[in-house]
Amino acid sequence: MILLFFLFIQNVNGQTQKVSQDSFSIFFNEIKTASQKNIGLWNKELYGPILLINPKTREVFANEPDKIGVLKNNEGVYSGTLPVDINIANTAMNWSGKRWAMIMLPLPQNKENRIGLLAHESFHVIQPSLGFELNNTENNHLDQKEGRVYLRLELEALKKAIHSTLEKESKEHLTNALIFRKYRHSLYTDSGSHENSLELNEGIAEFTGVIVSGRSKDQTIAFLTNGINDFFKNATFVRSFAYHTIPVYGYWLYNKDKNWNKKITAKTDLTDYFIKTFNVNIPANLNEIVKKIAVHYNGSTIIEEEIKRDERRKQLIAEYQSKFVDQPHFEIKFEKMNVSFDPRNIMPIENKGTVYPNIRVTDKWGILTVENGALMSPSWDKISISNPTEMGDQKVSGEGWILELADGYTIKKDETNSNYLLVKKNQINN
């Protein structure tokens, strides 16, 4: 089973970026030059096979040829149409005998943002060779009120830490950030290890992008700050928080030790590592301390906002529970699944799985495109959508979803509960 996820990349003011053939060569040269300049970051070449893809047309532009003849050479840029069974995402993927960095077009218009994005995904290409696992563990506790409160407080403290000009002041904010973090971990079983898994994956990748981007100190501080402020607007934090925690800790530490990232492994607990490296003392009475220091980071407003959000969240969960669990629905089991989705607006439902408002699944049975919600099971072995309203031999659709069936598959209704199931045609009478 291959899991992909992506973040939508938007240009400033929502402008459409028109890209010429020469521009693609420039983009490839930018990341190649930046990679060579920063080869000491991981002591490994970051620049490698890259696919830039128009998600609407599936037109792809690459810096290298493929091995199956999809891409045609045009003055050093290789272009073609990506096969329909491949999901489009900002990710690393194995295709046509190579491991590629895949990035959706349009790229950011800002050069540093563009290089940072390409570097992030290029890190995922070399990530296994560095010993880091590809792990996108969900952190459902960060959709809970307390989890969100103390993540927001941690990030507010980190913003103040990187803006502080005095070493003592910066250290104080950094210490408070880690106190909020440790307290959050104390509230939810295994939350520290779950967060750590995603931070070792996406957090380290984003840190790499920040360093390779070539921004000045002021530009980096502004980028990290704006990123956190934009992150707070996301519907959920469960899969995207790592893009904003580790880059700040990592950048702060990088200014003191250029080799810190090469001292960690896939088994490193980043929280403990930062506490030890920053020489931070975590008090025993965390419950009392967090209440006192929260006032310095807009704590009362954050708590008030999260109480209101939690009320809306519970209402939405009840609606999803009714739609995908209690009422008749369509259940599709996976065989060899590949999936892409937007991680910014997912909704965990305790013990039932996670609702993905927008998701695309490819499998042996065909292609499922959802634009109005689907419930992924906790074990990622099946997905539930609303019952179909239109059924054909090769295309089935319902409220906000379309299923394109492969040969040999059909759907049938379970008369005992009115649910629909996806089955192989030769199993209908079994």
Task: Indicate the domain borders of the chain.
Answer: 2-130, 140-297, 328-427
pLDDT value at 213 more than 80:
yes
Write phi, then psi, for 252 (nearest 5 degrees): -60, -40
pLDDT value at 6 more than 70:
no
Please, which residues have CB within 8 angstroms of residue 309's CB and are 6 or more apart in sequence?
A: 145, 148
Task: Tell me the C-alpha distance between 51 and 64, whole Å.
Answer: 9
Which range is least confidently modeled, 108-122, 131-145, 306-320, 371-385?
131-145
- Per residue in 157-188, pLDDT (tens digit) is 999 999 999 999 999 999 999 999 999 999 99
Assign 10 a pLDDT band (cuts: 50, 70, 90).
very low
- Which pLDDT does position 429 carry in this prediction? 59
Alpha helices in 188-268 (DSSP H): 191-198, 204-212, 217-231, 242-254
AA letter at 85: D
pLDDT value at 118 more than 80:
yes
Alpha-carbon distances, residue 269 vs 14, 42, 70, 82, 136 (angstroms): 39, 19, 43, 39, 16
- Which pLDDT does position 428 carry in this prediction? 67
- Which pLDDT does position 430 carry in this prediction? 54
Provide the 8-state DSSP code for 425: G
- Which pLDDT does position 3 carry in this prediction? 45
420 and 411 Cβ atoms separated by less than 8 Å: yes
Nearest to residue 208, comparing CAs of 381, 18, 367, 34?
A: 34
- Which pLDDT does position 357 carry in this prediction? 93
- Which pLDDT does position 426 carry in this prediction? 81
Nearest to residue 9, comparing CAs of 81, 127, 88, 84?
A: 88
- Which pLDDT does position 18 carry in this prediction? 56
Assign 136 a pLDDT band (cuts: 50, 70, 90).
confident
